[in-house]
């Protein structure tokens, strides 16, 4: 690509992310201490995004390229104290890919899934080899869940009562 085709603004320096830091005399406020865990989760999620497994790369390719019911996914997103592999905030669907290490972590995964479901998310789990060998089937399952989750709730039935 010809470097002269880029607009000039692409080469302007960005402001430092630390602009405004250090003000306030150095005291640690309760707001800053509350955000430390969140900041660590964000940094860890960014690191995980740059080190995807082969199965995560393959599924991410299809999730971002396909229009699965107009669902928009994010990868390696922090939710609470957890980092999920893929999340679609509307309709609140989480997709987790499991490698061999998850066979020994089933109680942890169950606790984690229960917490995420308590937050209103549906959780789908697939084995890495399933994504690699049966990508079409995995995508079909995801699409079916998106379709179900996007359906409007049924209206309340009319109150029971007889006519006189």
Angle at 147 between CA 146 and CA 152, to 5 degrees: 110
Dihedral (CA of 107, 110, 114, 120) sign? positive
CATH of 52-151, one of 3.30.450.20, 3.40.960.10, 3.40.50.300, 3.30.420.40: 3.40.960.10
Quick: pLDDT tens for 68-112. 878 899 998 989 989 899 999 999 999 999 887 656 678 888 999
Q: Using 50, 70 and 90 to split pLDDT, how confident is the model at 25?
A: very low
pTM, full prediction: 0.64
Quick: pLDDT tens for 107-148. 888 999 999 999 999 999 999 999 999 999 999 999 999 999
**46-to-23, 40, 59, 74 alpha-carbon distances in Å:** 27, 10, 18, 12
The count of residues in the chain is 164
Residue spans of the domains in the chain: they are 52-151
Q: Which of 37-46, 143-152, 154-163 has the highest mean pLDDT?
A: 143-152
């Amino acid at each position: 690509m010809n470097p002269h085709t880029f607009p000039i603004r692409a080469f302007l320096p960005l402001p430092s992310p630390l602009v405004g830091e250090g003000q306030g005399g150095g005291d640690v406020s309760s707001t800053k201490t509350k955000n430390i865990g969140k900041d660590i989760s964000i940094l860890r999620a960014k690191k995980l995004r740059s080190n995807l497994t082969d199965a995560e790369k393959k599924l991410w390719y299809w999730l971002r390229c396909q229009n699965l019911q107009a669902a928009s996914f994010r990868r390696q997103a922090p939710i609470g104290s957890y980092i999920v592999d893929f999340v679609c905030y509307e309709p609140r669907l989480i997709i987790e890919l499991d490698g061999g290490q998850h066979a020994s972590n089933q109680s942890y995964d169950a606790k984690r899934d229960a917490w995420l479901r308590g937050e209103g998310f549906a959780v789908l789990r697939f084995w890495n080899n399933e994504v690699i060998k049966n990508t079409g089937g995995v995508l079909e399952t995801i699409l079916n869940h998106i379709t179900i989750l996007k359906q409007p709730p049924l209206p309340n039935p009319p109150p029971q009562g007889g006519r006189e």
